[in-house]
Amino acid sequence: MAWLVAFDNAGSEGTISVSVAYSFVHNAFMVLNPEDYLWGRIDTEGCGTLLRRDQVIGTPLAKRLFPILDEIWACDPYVRQYVESQ
């Protein structure tokens, strides 16, 4: 299960996106490198620049990203149901 999380990078290069997946091994969300998931062209259309893992982890963007992922986990019953069924 993977997602693209897009951010409007106002005042800079426009939209940036982060590829994330749920890891069943770690029971947590993980930031992926763009080549770690085969996103289709239609998936990334309008997503701007897809960032590498090292461009996210340990940065202010990570402090924005992980609360969003926590919110998805807490509020989306379909995500929880999918994870619990695996």
Read off the DSSP letter of residue 52. Answer: P
User: CA-CA distance, 22 to 65, in Å (whole number)?
Assistant: 14
Q: Could you tell me which residue, 86 or 48, shows the higher pLDDT?
A: 48
Cα-based distances in Å from 12 to 6, 8, 9, 63, 65: 14, 9, 6, 18, 18
Domain that holds residue 12: 2-85
* 30-61 residue pLDDT tens: 999 999 999 888 888 888 889 999 999 999 99
10: pLDDT strictly greater than 70: no
**What pLDDT does residue 8 have?**
85
**Which pair of tokens denotes residue 25?**
């091994």
Query: What pTM did the predictor assign?
Result: 0.82
**Domain count of the chain?**
1
